[in-house]
Amino acid sequence: MVIQRFKAIKDLLLDKLDTTLSRIDDLEKIVCLLSENSQTSQSKLDVLEKIVSQLSTNSTTSQDKLDLLETLLSQQTFNDNSSLQACIYLIELLQKWLPDIQQQYTNLLPQIQRELQQQHYGLFSQVQGKLDWQHKSLLGQIQEEIRQQHSGLISQLQGEIREQYSDIISQIKDDYQHLQADLHQQYNTLLDNSGLRVKAENNRGEDLEPEEKLIAFLYSFLPSRKAIDIGANRGDISESLLKAGYQVYAFEPYTPVFEQLCQRLQQNSDFQAYNIAIGSHDTTMDFHICSDQSEAGIFQNPSLYNTLLPHSMPQGLNFTETRPVQVRSLESLHQTGEISHDIGLVKIDTEGYDLEVIQGMGKAQYPVVVAEFWDKNHIFGQSGTLNRLDLLVEGMKKRDYHWYLVIARSDKPSNYDFNYDIFFYGNYPQTVDNSWGNVFFFREYEVFKQAFSWCSAFLPMAYLR
């Protein structure tokens, strides 16, 4: 389009130049006519008027010189000589104008070219800008459509995966429940008369904990009926041990609670109580006394949490005072003869101090040792404790205890697929998140096997992964 405009302007200028040259030729012919004597003055006048009329239509004529010619021609009287001079002057004038017109054309041509180039560049930039904007707009639209399609596809796949996962988990749970029921049924079928399950209660009519029931069951498989209850408190476990037939050595360092323990069980000839704490060696230590400071008084027996080793506690349960107590090791008590060497079972519940008790066993080889553990995320086990399961297992393996069973509880389980509040597993030092419970260590495999059979009949088994 720009090139076409340039050609049109060029052709117009050339056409005007040709027209000017043609008129010069016509004027020369007129001069010749005016030189002839046969023409009248009136005819010359007509010719000059014709010239002036023609020149008046040419926009490139100099206005000053045109006015001069018109003045000459408008006179009423003039001679042939004046007319001839006017024509000659007109021819000279046109001859002078011709180089000016050519020079104007030559000067105007670069300007026209520049203007055309600028118009071409502006038009090109405008078109290029529109194309870039359209390209970006189209690209953004395509990317947005791709993102929407991608997001929709991912959401759809995630929904399908969650649905399939939920179905699989539900099926696994159902299969496990059926399998557990079948195993219990098959096991109970194989049990002899000792497999008859009877509800066990304490003297207050309360159902016993699984640990108490297992301790009573193991009585029949131990070489000695003597048992040690470390951290006896008011005597719940000691009472269960006595009821099962054990002869009990009970240890409780806090004097007010020790007095309650003796008042409760001292009439039994198989019961003997000691007002001391048990640790890794003989010494004197501060015993931390716990108090219930909750508004609702939810901790009915805060003395259960008294300990030699202060640790993390739930809100409202605090250590408020300390009292010095005597600490003895089991090895020292055996050496002095204060307790018998032929012990069948040792139960330890020292609120986080259990590993120290194990380290004070010396070379004693008890058939069964029971200790309490807390998971690291449990409220009691988050800091200041020495009863993590892996530490207890490591300490007992050094004393040739290679088989153990874990009876555990978990407060609001969050990271495993299990529906039971109490469960068991064997020979694995890992704890379930936020769990706590007791671990039974065995020196002899046959005793471990009997305990495992009992747990399989009464408790669901957890398979840790």
DSSP 299-335: -S-GGGG-BSS-----TTEEEEEEEEEEEE-HHHHHH
* Amino acid, res. 249: Y
Neighbouring-strand partners of residue 350: none
- Buried b / exposed e over 94-103, threshold 16 CB at 10 Å, is beebeeebee
CA distance 431 to 439: 11
Whose structure tokens read 């590993």?
355
Which tokens is 170 given?
């539900």
133: Cβ contacts below 8 Å, ≥ 6 apart: none
Q: Where are the domains of the chain?
A: 2-131, 191-458
Neighbouring-strand partners of residue 374: 436
E strands, 219-276, where?
226-230, 247-251, 271-274
For 151, the enclosing helix (H) or strand (E) is helix 80-190
pLDDT at 60: 45
DSSP-assigned letter for residue 206: P
pLDDT at 25: 62
Which tokens is 425 given?
């597993």
Which tokens is 298 given?
């939810």
CB atoms within 10 A of CB 259: 13
- Helices then strands, counting H and E runs in the chain, come out as 11, 11
- The side-by-side arrangement of strands in the sheet containing 317-328 is 277-278, 317-328, 283-292
Nearest to 456, CA basis, from 176, 190, 180: 180
Neighbouring-strand partners of residue 403: 442
Phi and psi at residue 439, to the nearest 5°: -120, 130
CA distance 416 to 455: 21
Pick the CATH number of 191-458 from 1.10.20.60, 3.90.550.10, 3.40.1280.10, 3.40.50.150: 3.40.50.150
Phi and psi at residue 113, to the nearest 5°: -65, -40
Contact 187, 456 (CB under 8 A): yes
pLDDT at 171: 81
The SS3 call for residue 440 is strand
pLDDT < 70 positions in the chain: 1-10, 12-98, 100-102, 104-105, 176, 179-208, 412-420, 465
pLDDT at 415: 47
pLDDT at 86: 59
The SS3 call for residue 343 is coil
Which tokens is 241 given?
């041990």
CA distance 194 to 216: 13
Which tokens is 450 given?
């009997």
pLDDT at 112: 76
pLDDT at 456: 95
Task: Using only the alpha carbons of the chain, give its radius of gyration.
Answer: 60
Nearest to 371, CA basis, from 344, 353, 383, 397: 353
pLDDT at 283: 97
For 417, the enclosing helix (H) or strand (E) is none
pLDDT at 412: 59
CA distance 30 to 47: 8
pLDDT at 440: 99
